[in-house]
Amino acid sequence: MKQAFSENLIALYDGPIRTAKALESMALGDLDGDDRDAVQRRRDQLQKALFRQCEVHSVELGDDLFNMTAASVQKAGLSHLMQQFDVRDRDATHRLLRAAALADDWGNALTNNRRNLEQFFVGSRALVCGTCVGLGDGKLNIKGRRFDLVVIDEAARATAGELMVAMQSAHRVLLVGDQKQLLPQIPREVLDHVSRTIQIDENFILESDFARAFRSEYGRKVARSLKTQYRMAPKIGDLVSKIFYSDVGLETGRSAPPEIYRSLKWPFDEEVTWVDVGGASAREMRKGTSYTNESEADAIVQCLEELSRDSVFLDEVVRTLREEEPLVGVICMYGAQRDLLANRIASSGISERLMRRVKIGTVDSYQGKENRIILLSLVRSNEFGQSGFVDNENRINVALSRAMERLVIFGSSDMFRSGKSKLSDTFRLIEMDGRVHGLPNTSLAAE
């Protein structure tokens, strides 16, 4: 990484969208497609710039070399060039040759009808970044390249096909992920069809290749587990460790939350709180294939309104945030609840100052993200105790582990007090700590 940055060999690619279009525009300016003279002038400028860089980093060159191409350097021969320009450093001359080849690549890219700078960048950079899907774009020609090392982050969430897009060009591969968090996303119709056709359990299909590799004989030899987390405050980290990582012994490598958080009123007065939103009047409502819970939405809005009145807290905490960084993340287990909450918050008494620091999303959109304060809406509440995928261990793990300083869970204690799920285990641990309370009907300011 240090070498790549020092040599300015950095290119960024994100997803299948043509992100290099802006780079092409910068290189070509306002040139018309048929203006070959202008393209040639631009090529000459780029070649001169490249050779000037070569002068700085390797060898003194004369102006008569500025327009030399890689082919002419090859034809002249390294020994002849070294003698002609009194260069005694063969390594410096090799760098000249590489710079000339790079200039040719620039020229070819700029004079090509497709102006495919993306492929040029991929082939000439020491560090290329992108998504598995984005790097599979045919115009990048990844399959024709070889990289010393390919690092795939969030590998446990990638399908086999997505992994192979990046791995096909690697001499060595480093997979980074957590098989206890979100699984690969496979459309339900595909999952059902494959399961029926080859007669295997859908859980086997859903399992990531990362998880299979990790527990394989080869994986046991080369795999390593990181056992210290630095995101979650100690009590939040301890809860997540006990519920999901008891086999690993996950430790917390950070200190307690800043002192200003101790001034907050309930339910933000402690690192972990469960707000009991239960009873017959707090039942879920089905919305197509999704669910909402209006009582939980109202409880979340009430807590945010109270938080927005604490100007002293907001003054101090907002100064520590990056521009546009959310302070509060509201995670919903269902998309319909996310939409309901977005409407309720928009029409609430929450101050504009806090409202623009609130992010609302589903658990599936939150992997890899974090916020100082997380409010989690479980949504499901019915007399039959049916919780659907809310009991999914991977989803619950992601939802609980997004919080940095405060985690507040909104859900029915009747639904989750009993049972053998990880969510029931979570409820019982929080209840043992005396942190399960119903929401007061009056203003929270009385707390």
| Segment (H or E) for 60 | none
Gap between the Cα atoms of 206 and 299, Å rounded: 35
Give phi and psi for 147, each to the nearest 5: -115, 140
Token digits of residue 222: 């080369």
Give phi and psi for 372, each to the nearest 5: -60, -45
Can you give the pLDDT at residue 1? Answer: 36
Q: CA torsion 351→355→357→358, rounded to 10°?
A: 140
Can you give the pLDDT at residue 442? Answer: 43
Radius of gyration of the chain (CA): 29
Q: Is the pLDDT of residue 66 over 50?
A: no
142/155: higher pLDDT = 155
Place of tokens 């560090």: 127
Structural domains present in the chain: 1-113 (no CATH), 134-224 (3.40.50.300), 234-438 (3.40.50.300)
Token digits of residue 200: 């295997």
279/266: higher pLDDT = 266
| Segment (H or E) for 95 | helix 90-111
102/252: higher pLDDT = 252
3/296: higher pLDDT = 296
- Confirm whether pTM is higher than 0.75: no
Q: CA torsion 282→287→292→298, rounded to 10°?
A: -80
Residues 6+ positions from 185 with CB-CB distance below 8 Å: 157, 159, 364
Q: Please name every residue paired with 13 in a beta bridge, in sequence order, or none if there are none.
A: none
* Averaged pLDDT for residues 93-101: 71
Task: Let me know the angle formed at the C-alpha of 42 by 36 and 44, rounded to the nearest 5 degrees.
Answer: 105
Token digits of residue 195: 């399961």
**What's the mean per-residue pLDDT of the chain?**
80
Gap between the Cα atoms of 88 and 187, Å rounded: 63
At 13-64, the pLDDT tens digits run: 233 222 232 333 333 333 444 445 555 555 565 555 555 555 444 444 444 4
Indicate the SS3 state at residue 34: coil
Between the ranges 135-139, 145-149, 290-294, where is the mean pLDDT highest?
A: 290-294
Q: CA torsion 165→166→170→176, rounded to 10°?
A: -140
Q: Is the four-CA dihedral 231, 317, 261, 408 of positive or negative sign?
A: negative
Can you give the pLDDT at residue 14? Answer: 34
Indicate the SS3 state at residue 438: strand
End-to-end CA distance of the chain: 51
Gap between the Cα atoms of 150 and 266, Å rounded: 47
At 358-378, the pLDDT tens digits run: 999 999 999 889 999 999 999
Residues 6+ positions from 397 with CB-CB distance below 8 Å: 180, 181, 240, 243, 244, 422
Gap between the Cα atoms of 341 and 298, Å rounded: 8
